[in-house]
Amino acid sequence: MRKILLRMKVVVTGGGTGGHIYPALAIASALSETGADILFVGSAHGPEGALARKHGFEFVSVASGPIYGLSYRTAVSTLKLAAGSIAARRIIGDFKPDVLIGTGGYTCAGVLLAGWSCGKRIVLHEQNVVPGRTNRLLSRFARRICVTFEESKRYFPESRVVVTGLPVRKDIIEGIDRYQAAGRFGLDGGRPTVLVIGGSQGALRINNLILEALPLLCENGVQIIHQTGECGYEDAAALNPDAQGYVVMPYIEDMAAAYSAADVVVSRAGASAISEITVRGLPSVLIPYPYAQGDHQSKNAQALANVGAALAVDEKEIDGKSLAAILLDLFNDGSRLRSMAEASRRLAKPNAAVDVAKVVIETAFTER
Mean pLDDT of 8-22: 87
* pLDDT tens digits, one per residue of 151-206: 899 999 999 999 999 999 999 999 999 999 999 999 999 999 999 997 655 588 99
Confidence of residue 113 (pLDDT cuts 50, 70, 90): very high
Helix (H/G/I), strand (E/B), else coil: 319: coil
Predicted pLDDT of residue 122: 98
Q: How many CB atoms lie within 10 A of CB 235?
A: 15
**Quick one: DSSP state of residue 153?**
G
- What percent of the chain lies above the pLDDT cut of 70? 91
Tell me which residue of 80, 40, 41 sits closest to 63, measured CA to CA: 80
Predicted pLDDT of residue 106: 76
Is there a shared CATH topology between the 9-168+350-365 domain and the 175-347 domain?
A: yes
- What percent of the chain lies above the pLDDT cut of 90? 69
Confidence of residue 76 (pLDDT cuts 50, 70, 90): low
Separation of alpha carbons 112 and 116, rounded Å: 6
Helix (H/G/I), strand (E/B), else coil: 74: helix
Residue 228, φ and ψ in degrees, nearest 5: -95, -20
Predicted pLDDT of residue 70: 45
Mean pLDDT of 296-324: 95
Separation of alpha carbons 342 and 105, rounded Å: 32
Predicted pLDDT of residue 66: 57
For residue 299, pLDDT beyond 50: yes
Task: Specify the range with the lowest mean pLDDT, choosing from 131-140, 205-214, 281-290, 355-364.
Answer: 131-140
Kindly give the interhelix angle for 296-305 and 271-279, rounded to the nearest 10 degrees: 20
* pLDDT tens digits, one per residue of 237-266: 887 656 789 999 998 989 999 999 999 999
Confidence of residue 19 (pLDDT cuts 50, 70, 90): confident
Segments in 220-333 forming alpha helices (H)? 230-239, 255-261, 271-279, 296-305, 320-331
* pLDDT tens digits, one per residue of 25-68: 999 999 999 999 999 999 888 788 999 999 999 999 987 665 54
Mean pLDDT of 1-22: 77
Predicted pLDDT of residue 193: 99
> CATH assignment of 9-168+350-365?
3.40.50.2000
For residue 16, pLDDT beyond 80: no
Q: Comparing 200 with 351, which gets the higher pLDDT?
A: 351
Predicted pLDDT of residue 242: 62
Specify the CATH number for 175-347; select among 3.30.70.890, 3.30.70.270, 3.10.105.10, 3.40.50.2000: 3.40.50.2000
- Residue ranges of the domains in the chain? 9-168+350-365, 175-347
